[in-house]
Structure formats: structure tokens, C-alpha cells
Structure 1
Amino acid sequence: MREVVAAARELEAGRPVALVFVTHVGGSTPRSSGARMAVLADGSIVGTIGGGEVEHRVVALAREALRTGRPARFEANLTRDLGMCCGGLMAVHVDPVFPEPPLVVFGAGHVAHAVVPMLTALGFRVTVVDDRDELNTPDRFACARVLDDPRAFAEGLTGDPTRYVLVVTHDHALDLDLCRSLLPLRNAWVGMIGSRAKVAKFRVRLRAAGLDEVTVASLRAPVGLDLRSETPAEIAVSIASEVVWHRRGGEGSGRPLAG
């Protein structure tokens, strides 16, 4: 149980953890099937699967799984493969677990109201930032909320390569100021709603404000996949689809599976 508690604490603190499970044993082994261990991002461990060379190998495998994000499996004859005296067989599964990535939504209007539940269901830790107390309410948004000036909040952010940002405010001047503050930061993704004409003007103004071409090009706008969306709910589906597409490496075509 200590391993599970440690994993929960790491995830709550925003740090990834790898959970290790002994899935099969045969013959003489230091731990039985079902033994668990947590490997933290710094390589420290909670619990044990028996120590020795097998644990050393599995910790290295777990750290690699945290780097790649892919589960891993380890099987060995402890004597023949690792030089341990136990003589048995052991199979281990390594499962990397990552905290919910933060996603900041600037704006609390119709589109935000429609898209936030989708983003939450997709496993993001959503925060809505809007200073309009009649819109940014707990009844409308069952997530973290910041009832404050969006400009001030954006200016107070530091770089976070795991963070997604969505700009869907009611004010073009505010959108531009937010992009000017947010784009130079290390974010995973920054998307903004708007027409192609609005986006083209914004890119010119962002360059004029001193942002380099790579930074300006990183803005995902108009945000969303092309679904010919019109209603707030349809636009929300389009935005959520692009977020999933990006999180999955941008490898999907975005077209119907049936062709």
C-alpha cells in the first residue's frame, strides 16, 4: 500500500511515477507474484521487488518508461540472466503514470462553457480564467477557476512544457495581449479561437511586438479541426479534437476513419 500512496502523492504534486508489478514467478524468487514498487522521477523507490540485480535492472527500465511514456515488461531467469542465487523466474510489468496536464482556458463564454467539460473528461486539469463574476461561476465550471484579470494572470505564469493554453475570450485586444505574454513561454500548446483574417492580423502584430517567427508560428489558430463547426458545442468538439490530436503526437489524419 505504501507504493500506491507514494504514487498518489507524486501525481498530486505534478510529478510522474512508474508503478512496478511482479506479474509472474516460478521457482525460488525474492518476492512473490503481486509484489509492487514505485519508482519516482528521480530514481528513488518506494517498496521493493526483492533488491539485487533484478531490482537494479527494473529501476533503469522504469526510468526509461517515464522518459518515453510507454509501458515496459521485464522477464528473467534470475540465475542464468542476472547471476543471482535465487534460481527462479520472474516477470515484471512497468506502468508509467503521469499527472493530468494543466490546461488554462482564458475566457468563460459560450465556447469555454461547452469545451471545458470535454477537456476535463479527456484528463486535463483545467483552470478557467475570467474576471466576469456573472460567467466564471462554480455552477458553470466544475473545475479550478480564477476570477481575476486575465492579463495579470498570464503575465504571472512561468514556462511549463506540459501546459496547454486555450484563448477564447470576448475581446480581440485581450486576445492579442494574452498571446504576446503566453507565446514566449514554454508551453505544450497554445490555441486561440478566431477567423483566419483575425489570425493573420495577429501574426503581423505579434511580429511587430518583437516575437520571432518560430514563436509566432507556434500559435495554433484558428484553433480546432476543420469540421465546419458553427454552434458553441460543435466548436468545442473541434477544439477538443485538436487537443487530442496534438497530445497523440499529431499523427492522425483528422479525417473520418471510414474514409
Structure 2
Amino acid sequence: MAFDLIGLRAAVARHGRVSRVVIAATHGSTPREVGAAMLVWEGGQSGTIGGGKLEYELARLARRQTAPRRLSRHALGPEMGQCCGGAVEVLSEIYDAADVEALADQTVIARAGAPGCAMPLAVKRLMTRARAQGIMPEPQMIGGWLVEPVARPTRALWIWGAGHVGRALVQVLAPVPGLHITWVDTGADRFPEDIPEGVSVLPAQDPARLIGHAPREADHLVLTYSHALDLELCYGLLAHGFASAGLIGSATKWARFRKRLAGLGHVPDQIARITCPIGKPELGKHPQMIAIGVAAEILNPAPDEGTKNKSSFA
């Protein structure tokens, strides 16, 4: 887990005052791990620290909180009536736009759970390693200080097409930690009004021209409204390079694409790097079912590199 500064910034922009409630330490059996967090504002919340009465009570307290920061301990069995039996230490912090802006350049965020608690030497060392060597620490409480690395995207996914399946894929995949989605289609009117956080929208009359801007280690999903555009994108991606590429379509479509790509100069081993069809056909053809199957491939790639027509996201 990591400090989701992008999500916090978006919540503050929409709601003004926002409380971030994060699990700072655990003792025994608990529903969530250190670093699990939720955002709370008047009339709503996002994220989860485990649900149940613990989450309900801490959300209620966060809305009433006046101190900038509050550290508390909760025994899940005796205090909350939950079966986990362990205990959690929870840090609840209030943020506004100025607070978020002050964190803009941070890679690791460390703060005391209570006023007047000097930064321990161990925390200083972690901060120095992070800044000088890029070694990010795990979320942890040290000497009354909570240390959290700031979440950074570690994987780039380009989704080509904003139709029904493209929209379903973005809805399913946008919340995945560490994933940054670039969403491409032929015009701004192709996209929905509400774009999830962590998604960059790129309308372009000629989407294939954007291929050169994609990192060569990016994953790609091609599912536009046009078979001709799909073919052009597959051709361009094979020339550009990618970590993985998936194409929506039937076995018949893929057979035709293989023949045409070969005719355009790509050899069979190159063409075979593209997976088609994508998802899990047994789940059905509904856009949400396709999205669930593709998400499963992305999050749990096939372990056998030699498996024929394996997931392209290995």
C-alpha cells in the first residue's frame, strides 16, 4: 500500500475539507493491513479500511474531527464487536488544498501521530535512503511516526477505443493501484463526461500517430469501433514495440488480421505476440464480462511462457 496523493488531491478539489483515515499499525488479526486508507468528507467517502463497525465509527469520528491529526487505538473485539480479535492503530488527518499542495514533491510522507514527537533517527534514515537511492520503505509506524511511500504508477496501460467495452475496461481497471491508463479515441465526444482518476484521455483524429508516444514497456488493448483502425494500430504497435498487446475480436477476425499483418511484412513470431481474442470467452460477450476477463489476465498473467495463445499480459 502507498499514499494515494492523486486520489486525495482529486477528493479535496471536489469536496474541500477531506479526512484521510489510514491504518498505522496492526496487532493480531485485522481486516486490513498497514497503509490501507479511506477518504471521508461530509456526505460521502471512498476507499476502505476493512468495513464493518470499525469503518463506520471512524468515518463518523472523522467528520466530527477538528484537530489536524488524531492517532487512536481500537480493539476490534471488545470495542467494535468484530470477530477479528486484533487491534489497530489509526491515524486520521484533515487535508485541504494547501495541505495537498505542500506534499506535491514528496516521494515519502512521514509525520508524527501526536504533537511534539521528534522524528526518530530510524525515520530519518528511511527518508534519506528514499531521496538519495530511490529505495521506498513499506508503510510503517516507527517511534510514533507513520511513514508511507507516495503511490507512483508502475505500469502503463493504453486502451485504444472508448466504446462500450473500452468504458467497461476503464471502470474496472482505473482503481487498480500502480496502473496508469492512457485512453485514446478519435474525438472528445467519444468519451464519457466523468473520467476516473489516474486516466489520461487523448482524443486524436489519427490515433495511430500516438503510438510513438507510448512507452515500449506499456501494455495495450485495441478495441476501437473500426476494424481498419484496429489493424493499423496492431501494425504500428508491432513496429514500435510493447510489453503486451491484446485485440478484441473473434477467431475469424484474428485469422484475417494475421494474414494481413504478414502481408505487411511482419513475421509470424512477431504477430503471435498479440493476443486475440482477449478476456475469457466462457464469461460471455457483455462488455462488463469482457472487462472482468481482461482484468483477470492483466492482474494474474499466465505463468507458462510457452502456452499457446496465453494471456498477452504475462
Residue 271 of structure 2 aligns to a residue whose secondary structure is helix
Distance 1:206 1:9, change over 3 A: farther
Partner of 2:244: 189
Residues 154 and 181, structure 1, Cα contact 8 Å, conserved in 2:
no
Among 268, 271, 294, which residue is 1:213 paired with? 268
Q: 1:154 to 1:206 in 2, by over 3 A?
A: farther
**Offset of 1:141 from its aligned partner?**
5.6
Confirm or deny: 8 A CA contact 2:184 2:201 kept in the other structure: yes
Q: Can you list the C-alpha shifts for 1:24-54, whole angstroms capped at 9, x where unaligned?
A: xxxxxxx8433314557xxx81xxxxxxxxx
The answer on 1:151 being equivalent to 2:207 is: yes
The equivalent of 2:220 in structure 1 is 165
Structure 2 counterparts to residues 1-259 of structure 1, below 5 A? 32-35=121-124, 36-37=126-127, 39=129, 45=132, 99-123=153-177, 124-139=179-194, 143-157=199-213, 159-161=215-217, 163-246=218-301, 250=303
Paired with 1:223 and 1:173, the residues of 2 have a C-alpha distance of: 18
Partner of 1:80: none
* Residues 168 and 141 of structure 1: CA distance in aligned 2, closer, same or farther (over 3 Å): farther
**What's the CA shift for 1:10?**
8.8
From the superposition, tell whether residues 159 and 32 of structure 1 become closer, same or farther in structure 2 (CA, over 3 Å).
closer
Contact residue 183 and residue 190 of structure 1 kept, 8 A: no
Q: CA deviation at 1:212?
A: 1.9
Report the residue type matching 1:144 in the other structure.
S
Please say if residues 159 and 185 of structure 1, whose CA atoms lie closer than 8 Å, have aligned partners that are also in contact: no
CA RMSD of aligned residues (A): 3.6
Aligned residue identity for 1:240: A
CA distance in 1 between counterparts of 2:106 and 2:274 reads: 31
| Partner Cα distance (1:174, 1:149) in 2 | 11
State the distance in 1 between where 2:278 and 2:155 align.
19
**C-alpha distance in 1, partners of 2:259/2:269?**
13
Cα contact 2:211–2:240 (8 A) shared by 1: no
CA drift at 1:101: 1.4
Cα 1:33/1:10, change in 2 over 3 Å:
closer
C-alpha spacing 1:181/1:39, structure 2 compared with 1 (3 Å): farther
The superposition leaves residues 121-155 of structure 1 with CA deviations (integer Å, 9 ceiling, x where unpaired) of: 12321111112333224325652111112434344
Q: Distance in 1 between matches of 2:202 and 2:161?
A: 10
What's the counterpart of residue 53 of structure 2?
none
> Is residue 129–residue 150 contact of structure 1 (8 Å, CA) maintained in 2?
no
Is the 8 Å Cα contact of residues 174 and 196 (structure 2) preserved in structure 1? no
Q: Aligned partners of 2:161, 2:271: CA distance in 1, in Å?
A: 21
**CA distance, structure 1, for counterparts of residue 243 and residue 226 of structure 2:** 24
1:241, CA displacement in angstroms?
1.0
Counterpart contact for 1:119–1:240, Cα < 8 Å: yes
- Identical positions, percent: 28
1:243 deviation in Å?
A: 1.2
Aligned length: 185
**Structure 2: where are the runs of 5+ without partners?**
1-102, 111-119, 139-148, 308-314
Q: Match for 2:224: what amino acid? A: T
Amino acid at match of 2:180: R
